[in-house]
Amino acid sequence: MPRIVPALPALAPVSTMLTPAERLRVDAAGEGLYHTLHRDSLDDVLRDLRERRAAAVLVSVARYAAPFATPIAGPEAARVAAVVREFPRIPAVALLSQPEGGATYGPAGQAALAHAVLTLGRCGVERLVDVRSPGGWRELRELLAAGAADGADGFARFAAETVLRDLAGAPADCHRFFHLLFRAAPAPATVRALSRQLAVVPSTLMSRFFRARLPAPKRYLAFARLVRAARLFENPGLSVASVANALEYSSPQSFGRHVRTMLRLTAVQFRDRYDGEGMLHRFRAELVTPFLPALRRFTPLTVPPGWLGEEGRRRMVQ
């Protein structure tokens, strides 16, 4: 029998604008923590943020430090500022390293570096990591690893932990259901997919919610997807189409119909009204808090005692 090797979890992407020497060292520093997408233009970085869900952006100070490179000013500075402004949830980090070839910066170079650092700061890049000492590389690894963990996965963990605190004392079955609702990847998009992950027949799952007088599992799943959508919309650079695609809706129009059906809002109104935590609060207020007594004894994956009559028990035995 062939040996089955489990798939490794995908590493979070980090979009960079670095010098050639910095690329090699950043790759080595991040082995096993993240994978880098090395770019030569801000247009490419924006595509990484919008389409590849990059978890962080890393910019070399040296690329903008005259007289060694084109200074950051005018349109280029405005574009860096736009990247930071449109993706406030994505950490942007400036990297300060030694010049290539082992040289040192003279007075002019030091002044150029200081100017570039200050300009990047004015553009909104709030984190600077100096890797001219070994401790700087450790700091960079920790910062980018934390940024990767605090993206979609981080909010998914926060949402699940918040709801599970509400459900303290509920059966493990119930906890598992709500944990899967907020799983970041692969997040279930349909009741059928959710049922597969729970190893229960869809009709059986729906029947157990109905018997417990709880909202349908489809409604819980639909609201959980809107919580994730609201979190993504916290980055103004993501379009409705990008969010719809990330959450596996068939089209932006399908996403818009879903929002209208669930909340009686357009997609744009939804984006303006809710952030991730606000939508999570509504999820709890409508689907958790009013049903706490039932949820704290609810076992969606097993048949609770007393649900089957005598005839039902005979059929199960047969």
Q: What is the pLDDT of residues 3-22, one digit of tens each?
A: 433 333 467 889 999 988 89
Judge contact between 144 and 14, C-beta under 8 A: yes
SS3 96: strand
Determine contact, residues 121/197, Cβ cutoff 8 Å: no
As a whole number of angstroms, the distance between CA 229 and CA 249 comes to: 11
Query: In the β-sheet with 56-60, what is the strand arrangement from edge to edge?
Result: 34-38, 12-17, 56-60, 92-96, 127-130
Q: State the pLDDT at residue 89.
A: 86
**Banded pLDDT at 54 (limits 50, 70, 90):** confident
Domain 12-149: give its CATH superfamily.
Response regulator (3.40.50.2300)
Q: What percent of the chain has pLDDT over 90?
A: 41
CATH 3.40.50.2300 domain range(s) in the chain: 12-149
130 in Cβ contact with 60 (< 8 Å): no
How far apart are alpha carbons 259 and 286 in whole angstroms?
16
The overall pTM is greater than 0.95 = no
Q: Indicate the residue type of 9.
A: P
pLDDT in tens, 63-121: 887 655 666 767 888 888 988 999 988 889 999 987 665 556 667 777 888 888 888 99
How many angstroms separate the Cα of 75 from the Cα of each of 48, 127, 133?
20, 22, 33
